[in-house]
Structure 1
Amino acid sequence: MNKMTPFGPPPDFADVLSAARRISGYAVHTPLIECPALNQLTGGRVFLKLENLQRTGAFKFRGAVARLSQLAQQGKTDVIAYSTGNHGQAIATAARIFGLKATIVMPADAPRSKVARAEEAGATIRFYDRRHESREEIAAELCARQGGVIVPPGDDPVIIAGQGTAALEAVRDLHELGLVPDVFVTPCGGGGLAAGCATVLREISPATALYAAEPALYNDTEMSLAAGERVPVADRNARSICDALLAPIPAELPFSINGDALRGVVTATDEQVLRAMRFALDEMKVLIEPGGAVALAAVLEGRPVLKGKSAIVLCTGGNVDPEIVARIFD
């Protein structure tokens, strides 16, 4: 299923290495930590890649810097992005770093903290109703009217390569401990991060089983894998606290990679995600946002089975509104 799409060819490992060089000095090399309590629960050795400690609070900063550094070198001045929050604030921050003007199309119900961070970085925000409007169409209209380059969260090979640097770091760090990951679990919305991870694993850890983790009510990648083609979620009006993962359908370029690369998809309910967030606070003293905790939530529920295996679990963001933090303790 890995093929040419309207967005260009999928990235390869050389593209990930190039992205790693471009983000060096801007992005944080986040820690890979082992949690004894999690090992005891799963029967394996589980290492968490803490991208909640990344600059702007999420892995999205990697792809944003990789892409916008390139656009700045090409003499571009304006970028337009659409985002539920983390991609938007990452693009806004990267635009400020490289002297670009950013417009971000964000849902009206996006977490206030994510909107505020994008605005603080100097971006112009265009809100939309995620139930009745298309963010892609709005971005296209803005581009036609004011010019600029659209930087989507998934359908961009440079963005995918940038996100893949998280897996590159994690696998290399685990190799330094003398271990090879049997399993790699990553949260999945549009699929760009999973595609970047797949690009890395195919090259440096081909025996590793890659799993995507989705909210139970927004399992579009799971449904698309079963159908053999991209299909939307059953109920686009479904609600979930995992705001970062509410893509209604997998992005086209990532799915062209993930369709062959994923061993499977695991899901977690909102209640399971809240328990995972509480677990991370209690056991590791780190705060993970709902979308960033969905892979950990699935692992805590025994999906996939990790007994006797070593695993890397991505915790992808830490941008949480106070109301959600309060629910962790409810």
Structure 2
Amino acid sequence: MALTLQEIEKAAEGISGEIVRTPVVPAARLSETLGCDLHLKLENLQYTGSFKDRGACWKLLNLAPEQSRYGVIAMSAGNHAQGVAYHAKRLGIPATIVMPEFAPFSKVERTRSYGAKVVQTGETIDASAQAARDIAEAENLALVHPYDDPFIIAGQGTIGLELMTDLRDADCVVVPIGGGGLISGIASAIKAINPTVEIVGVETELFPSMYQALHDMPPSSGGTTLADGIAVKSPGKLTRSIIKELVSDILLVDEASLETAVHYLVERQKIVAEGAGAAGVAALFAHPERFRGRRVTSIICGGNIDVRLLSGVLARGLIRDGRVVRLRIEIIDQPRQLARLSEVIGGAGGNIIEVYHQRLFADVPAKRADVDVVVETRNIEHVQEIISALHKAGFESRALSTRSVDGGF
């Protein structure tokens, strides 16, 4: 059963001034690419970098005095941990956070920096969750669930209230789904204000837990996904009933679409999103016909992506777009061949980034050599121009890198 509008409005009043009132911004360049009128709700601008600030703050504000005195415990691999830790510190509530052993170093250290006691245990999320329940019982701590809690859902629902203030005439709102707390709150608020707005959820193909639960399918979640923030194997029971009532569709996205979304958000909109935060935009890339011609809002629910991971995603994106290519070129092993090769590539407008000269480990005759050249290019057409110029100059060459999206070389 959905939360009432009054419950969400009460949450909005309670957390006003305690969290960031995030903007809704038009995404003009992505709109041109996708064929829809896209707007982005920037929850990555919250203090801890995700929407989790809202629900955590409202839940903590509603603790009984005795619970606040003993303290709280939460289990999370990242964003919920930081939201609970940050607001618990502000409110003077002792906080213990159980994080799985595989949690990213950056998120563990950031959670500690907010003053929480961090316990890293469990090789899986389920194991960590059980550890949190055991500690809660042993130490009389209040467990702050990441999604299956009315106060958490109401806190997240304040995003829906803000959306209806800023963009009431939206046709569709696309929301990532992990356990379901975010979309349950948003859907409850929006549908109470404007029932004609369509709410669409997004999960990854590797973790389709809510989709499978609603379609009576056997669970199959597992694997490594860029969207680790929504990699939930066991969706909430309370959230499941709300989603069944108010959400019209759940779309699944693959890893290539997630990478493309993270990449294009940075490059074209100057917005940093983690994999889960970009899942809504990934759905637009994966299912463009579903949203073409419509006014769509996507929730950028988090921006806590590891810098090294982000750099890798951006580099891979350049390769997918044909703007960085690795060419294998066969040359005669004699003086000035590399110079000639460089002149041809430079003359065709390519910028050489790296060169790998292989004599011993290549399957070529003794008087020849393979040269692998990493080249910066304008686009896929430019790559073909460079290859043609090499062939014309007598250099046999081929592209080693391939595009995982929109075809290949």
TM-score w.r.t. structure 2 length? 0.74
5 Å matches for 1:249-264? 249-264=234-249
Aligned: 1:325 with 2:314:
no
- The 2-side partners of 1:232 and 1:84 are apart by 25
SS of 2:145's partner is: coil
Contact 1:187 1:212 in 2 (8 A): yes
Tell me: CA distance 1:233–1:322, structure 2 relative to 1, closer, same or farther (3 Å): farther
- The 2-side partners of 1:267 and 1:55 are apart by 29
5 Å matches for 1:48-127? 48-71=40-63, 76-77=68-69, 78-127=71-120
1:298 corresponding residue in structure 2: 283
- The 2-side partners of 1:133 and 1:295 are apart by 26
Q: Which moved more, 1:295-304 or 1:277-286?
A: 295-304
Structure index of larger Rg? 2
2:172 corresponding residue in structure 1: 183
Contact 2:88 2:94 in 1 (8 A): yes
1:244-267 alpha-carbon deviations (Å, 9 max, x no partner): 111102111111111121111112
- The 2-side partners of 1:39 and 1:137 are apart by 44
- The 2-side partners of 1:286 and 1:84 are apart by 23
Query: What percentage of aligned pairs have identical amino acids?
Result: 32
Q: How many residues align?
A: 314
SS of 1:290's partner is: coil
Q: Which amino acid aligns with 1:242?
A: A
Contact 1:266 1:304 in 2 (8 A): no
Contact 1:215 1:242 in 2 (8 A): yes
Tell me: CA distance 1:202–1:133, structure 2 relative to 1, closer, same or farther (3 Å): closer
Tell me: CA distance 1:88–1:282, structure 2 relative to 1, closer, same or farther (3 Å): same
2:8 corresponding residue in structure 1: 16
- The 1-side partners of 2:103 and 2:32 are apart by 36
Q: Identify the match of residue 226 of structure 1 among 212, 215, 219.
A: 215
1:270-318 alpha-carbon deviations (Å, 9 max, x no partner): 2211111110111111110111111111112235622221111101000
SS of 2:119's partner is: strand
Q: Identify the match of residue 169 of structure 1 among 162, 165, 169.
A: 162
Superposed CA RMSD in Å reads: 1.7
Aligned: 1:153 with 2:153:
no
- The 2-side partners of 1:279 and 1:34 are apart by 14
1:243 corresponding residue in structure 2: 228
| Bigger RCO (CA 8 Å, 6+ sep) | 1
- The 1-side partners of 2:123 and 2:238 are apart by 22
2:191 corresponding residue in structure 1: 202
- The 2-side partners of 1:116 and 1:173 are apart by 35
- The 2-side partners of 1:217 and 1:159 are apart by 25
2:131 corresponding residue in structure 1: 138
Contact 2:34 2:288 in 1 (8 A): no
Q: Which amino acid aligns with 1:243?
A: D
SS of 1:58's partner is: coil
Tell me: CA distance 1:216–1:305, structure 2 relative to 1, closer, same or farther (3 Å): same
Aligned: 1:38 with 2:30:
yes
1:132 to partner: Cα distance: 7.9
Tell me: CA distance 1:130–1:263, structure 2 relative to 1, closer, same or farther (3 Å): farther
TM-score w.r.t. structure 1 length? 0.91
- The 1-side partners of 2:157 and 2:60 are apart by 16
Unaligned runs of 5+ in 1: 3-9
1:89-127 alpha-carbon deviations (Å, 9 max, x no partner): 000001001100111111211222221111001111122
